[in-house]
Amino acid sequence: MRTVDLPNGRSLPVMGLGTWRMGEARSDKAAEIRVIQKAMDLGISLLDTAEIYGNGGSERVVGEAILGRRDSAFIVSKVAPSHATRKGTISACEGSLTHLGIETLDLYLLHWRGGVPVSETIDAFETLKAQGKIRAWGVSNFDVDDLEDIPDLTECSANQVLYNPQSRGIEYSLLPLCQSHQIPIMAYTPFGQSGAVLKNAAIAGVAHRHNATPGQVILAWGIRHPGVVTIPKTATLARVEENLGALSLQLTAEDLAEIDRAFPPPRRKSSLEML
């Protein structure tokens, strides 16, 4: 598993497992735990969750899946903007730790920017670090101007944003800014929402040339950038194995040009897309 370096000296795997929509139905719980454990068996240690996913249900599923395997997992969770005051952030983090059944989060993110001053949330993050409850902090859904409000960008360990061939606006200015400050980009929803990317003829053509699947091409396309991490969510064991195949897929200049023709790169700054 390739990694990117974090400011605290630790490493962030370039591929993880997203858990949005997990923990919402009790009938799916056993299968969701199997998927997470299978991912870990195959070397995927990065598990991304959030307090709002299933109202804590996702965190509980992750917690059960990593029982007895905490040292093999890199756990990321997020505080909701409505809880992002100094006191609220600390309380939310403690709630997430309880759901997960662990003592420390590897990375804690502000899910998106709300009405609370960013400096106040960061103050809470630093308190949590001092208490040993988180190892690092970062943000999610932050655009260029949002990042400019962070007093010291060298302390920000990640920016989790929407990124896929259909939604590549970050390439214009946000991605270069993050790369210049060595802030990893965590790409969520890498396959897009509508399924159009997976069904695209250009993607299929590239996949055929490499004897790969469209999903593998899309993931390899995302992590071709230095400092970009992808966190695809899947509910099936077979898809976990398929996704890992993207790590050994090297796209050529011809491949990238073909994808650019199907999904043109941005030519100007646009508002940050988010889900």
Which residues are paired to 240 by β-bridges?
Answer: none
Greatest pairwise CA separation for the chain in angstroms: 54
Distance CA 112, CA 9 (A): 25
How far is residue 239's CA from residue 27's CA, in Å, rounded to a whole number?
20
- Res. 220: pLDDT tops 90: yes
The predicted structure's pLDDT at residue 7: 84
Q: pLDDT, tens digit, for every residue of 2-12?
A: 999 998 888 99
DSSP SS3 for 206: helix
Predicted confidence at residue 161, as pLDDT, reads: 98
pLDDT tens for 64-106 read: 999 999 999 999 999 999 999 999 999 999 999 999 999 999 9
Of all residues in the chain, the percent with pLDDT exceeding 70 is 100
Q: Phi/psi zone of residue 35: left (φ > 0), alpha (ψ -120 to 50 degrees), beta?
A: alpha
In the predicted model, what is the mean pLDDT of the chain? 96
> Binding residue per annotation — 111?
yes
Helix (H) or strand (E) holding 205: helix 201-209
Look at residue 8 in the predicted model and tell me its pLDDT.
85
Domain boundaries, the chain: 11-190+226-234
Task: Tell whether the model's pLDDT for residue 207 goes beyond 90.
Answer: yes
List the one residue out of 141, 52, 132 whose CA is nearest residue 99.
52
Residue 58 has pLDDT above 90, yes or no: yes
pLDDT tens, 127-157?
A: 999 999 999 999 999 999 999 999 999 999 9
d(CA 120, CA 264): 39
Q: What distance in Å separates the CA atoms of residue 155 and residue 136, rounded to the nearest whole number?
A: 8
Whether the per-residue pLDDT at 187 is higher than 90: the answer is: yes
pLDDT at 193 over 90: no
Mean pLDDT of the region 223-248: 95
Which amino acids are annotated catalytic?
53
Residue 150: the pLDDT is: 96
**Residue of 7, 37, 19, 11 whose CA lies nearest to 188:** 19
CATH level 2 (architecture), domain 11-190+226-234: Alpha-Beta Barrel (3.20)
**Hunting for tokens 């919402």 — which residue is that?**
24
> What pLDDT shows up at residue 83?
98
Average pLDDT over residues 44-55: 97
Q: Kindly tell me if the per-residue pLDDT of 195 is higher than 90.
A: no
